[in-house]
Amino acid sequence: MTAHTDHRTMRRVLRREIAGTIGLLTDEHDFRAMRRYRTFAFADHATYLRQVEELLRIRARQGTHTTVALFDPREYADYCRAKDLDPDVPAHRTRFTAELATTGPTLPYDGRPLADLVPDLVDEAVRQATWEYAATLLARLGPCATCGEDVGRAAFSGASDLVVRILDTAPPGDRHLVCSVTGTPETLVAALRADGDTDGTPLDEAEVLEFTTVLALGVATRSPGGLVVRVSTPDRPDRVYGWRLRDGALHPLTAGEVFDAYCTDADSGDLIAPEPGVDYGAPPALTRDDPDAPESPPTGHHH
């Protein structure tokens, strides 16, 4: 009896040592797509979400780490087709989910309700898809016809330098950068957060990579776009400034242009009231030579 109890105790301890991944169907459309499989046991999306949340809480109480991944039925069907697997076998869904843990958008379960975690998981998926799309377009640019240098690589190097200079010249505070590129087949938007704490907190590497890649794509393809910085400091108005991306360079926006951009509805073009507690201004100079000169990446192509 003692030996049997010891084995059960050891198994419980081992379960706590095993990390798991749950593939989550975040919306009704994806849930309905999975219902065509006979072995998928759930009939109602709301019930499914409640059961997943309860399972996550149980695992958390047991001290087990769980990663939540975004389960895409279309990607799952493609995965099974490519590997000649029957998608109506639960073990194959488990195998696909395990691979999501290393290749797909994931978040660690931290005890939050699913209603709070799901939007962050979707944002992570959008961010990863944006980076992959922008990186693919950069790679397709190939070598420069004039000098033979890899255009995408040169643009990325130059964009990295621009991001460093923008952060270095930004006023103290929590900085939120947004870059948009509109001339590519799809409009791309990337964001980068840089906290104003002085404790040496590093930037999110994934955010930096995505932001720099989107900016590099705009530079390399000479696509129109923009880059806006918002700096927040306690007990002081937020400061907003930015640049227009045109012809592969950043052109400083005037205070009036920034104000107009923030006080115009993007869909209708109608004027909207300015946000209280915000100062709209011109950006700081990124070089000492000419504050109003366009900022081109130093290693970018100009031929």
The pLDDT assigned to 296 comes to: 57
The 20-24 sheet, strands edge to edge:
20-24, 66-70, 106-108
Whether the CB-CB separation of 155 and 138 falls below 8 Å is answered with yes
Q: Average pLDDT in the 161-184 region?
A: 91
Q: Average pLDDT in the 251-272 region?
A: 79
Say which residue, 277 or 117, is predicted with more confidence: 117
Q: Is the pLDDT of residue 140 over 60?
A: yes
List, for residues 61-88, the tens digit of each pLDDT value: 888 889 999 999 999 999 999 999 999 9
Q: Average pLDDT in the 159-177 region?
A: 93
Phi, psi of 70 (to 5 degrees): -85, 115
Q: Average pLDDT in the 20-40 region?
A: 92
Whether the CB-CB separation of 161 and 215 falls below 8 Å is answered with no
The pLDDT assigned to 16 comes to: 52
Single out the residue of 214, 173, 165 nearest to residue 194, CA to CA.
173
Mean pLDDT score of the chain, rounded to an integer? 84
Token pair 């998608």 is found at 87
What Cα–Cα distance (Å) separates residue 164 from each residue in 112, 114, 168, 206, 297?
34, 36, 6, 15, 11
- The number of angstroms, rounded, from the C-alpha of 182 to the middle of its chain's C-alpha atoms is 18
3-state helix, strand, coil in the chain (%, to 5): 45, 20, 35
Q: Is the pLDDT of residue 268 over 80?
A: no
The pLDDT assigned to 14 comes to: 45
